[in-house]
Structure 1
């Protein structure tokens, strides 16, 4: 049956970041993910995980200047040294936090940029990251993100991500399948999950189109969870959504799965 990880960047915003771990555990979550841990010492976050019996499922490598609108630098030419430094920091954090998944964001590429050059840089950086992570038993993830929410994002389609994965050929390079992004860009989720399952390394959910709880909107998540179970997926499913009201009040969709667990 599906195992869910609370995304602490989007959920439990009623609390300060470090207090969200306890709030998630109190609601029955056994794992967490979030965008970035780097504003806090790794040991401090690890203590919150241990205190609340939580597993760290995933976080993202440094994305460049987030406040200035950057959303990753892996496909940005001229930023290769910065990418390597940031990814080394991500590996240091993962060694403390215990997660075996790190997502690398491609970045927003200007409309007039050389796409072939951006692609070459992206593949080079992903190959470097996968080789660096392999020694630590860590899987590197790339995620297609919809261009409605993030215009200009370099990677937006599942087939493109899996083509890149095959080109690089690293066993520890996988695709992060976000149901929300895929539905907006492509649809046909069940077929794509079945088609691409061997290359999928993490799954995330949210209601479409508002990105609220997964029981709101146009997707039939109970059906998709059955599909995912049938494929034999045993990883965490990240709940990367914005609660419509209070986080805990909106968890009615989760309770049947907690009872089954």
Structure 2
């Protein structure tokens, strides 16, 4: 039985985070993940996770100011970026979150990005996975990391065992679907997988990526992130869940 993680950045956004965690449990998800949970005290999030028995798979570093979409690659903002890293690690530790997505930001440079990634790798709590994600240029124009090849080069340059690839099938499918042909090669670099329909980012039951075929190829042992935008109430968008759980 394949397991999925409900991304609460997009799902059940009409309710507080602890209630969204409870809704994910009731819907049959095996885990949850977040974008920016910082407005909810970590103790409340942890209490809901303990109550439901769900694990928090990932959370993101703060996106910065309007239009930044992350901080790690932004020159002359290293102090702000490292404060966001420290904050994310503290929240992750308090909620027993397994991984942190380190958001690069827009209009960045490699030297700043690599220095901040190295800081994160050196200061991460033991056992925590750090993630970088290539975000397609249509979704976030000018994002510093916008291809899988760039992400792989970054991982190889840093060469840190706790730094991995967030393999988001939506972003790959939008602009570089040929990457799916090489997924076996990428597999050792992957730290988490997310899915959504391509190209509209709604529920993963249609579109140009056939998850019934792809997910068995990925052979991922843990929960796969359902990071999609439902067209209406989340509960009405879940017909895909039993079908993909069985594939």
TM-score category (smaller protein): over 0.9
1:164 corresponds to: 154
RMSD of aligned alpha carbons: 1.6
**Residues 179 and 189, structure 1, Cα contact 8 Å, conserved in 2:** no
1:132 corresponds to: 123
**Residues 207 and 218, structure 1, Cα contact 8 Å, conserved in 2:** yes
Distance of 2:205 and 2:235 partners within structure 1: 14
Give the drift of 1:256.
3.4
2:230 corresponds to: 243
Please, which runs of 5 or more residues in structure 2 have no aligned partner? none
TM-score scaled by length of structure 2: 0.95
Give the drift of 1:257.
4.9
TM-score scaled by length of structure 1: 0.90
Secondary structure at the counterpart of residue 50 of structure 2: helix
Distance of 1:203 and 1:30 partners within structure 2: 14
**Residues 132 and 151, structure 2, Cα contact 8 Å, conserved in 1:** yes
**Residues 156 and 185, structure 1, Cα contact 8 Å, conserved in 2:** no
How many residues were matched structurally? 247
Q: Is 1:30 matched with 2:21?
A: no
Q: Is 1:206 matched with 2:219?
A: no
Distance of 1:83 and 1:185 partners within structure 2: 28
Distance of 1:100 and 1:53 partners within structure 2: 14
**Residues 173 and 208, structure 2, Cα contact 8 Å, conserved in 1:** no
Distance of 2:126 and 2:208 partners within structure 1: 39
| 1:173-188 equivalences in 2 (<5 Å) | 173-188=163-178
Distance change in 2, residues 1:74/1:221 (3 Å): same
Please, which runs of 5 or more residues in structure 1 have no aligned partner? 110-114
Distance of 1:249 and 1:169 partners within structure 2: 43
Q: Is 1:92 matched with 2:90?
A: yes
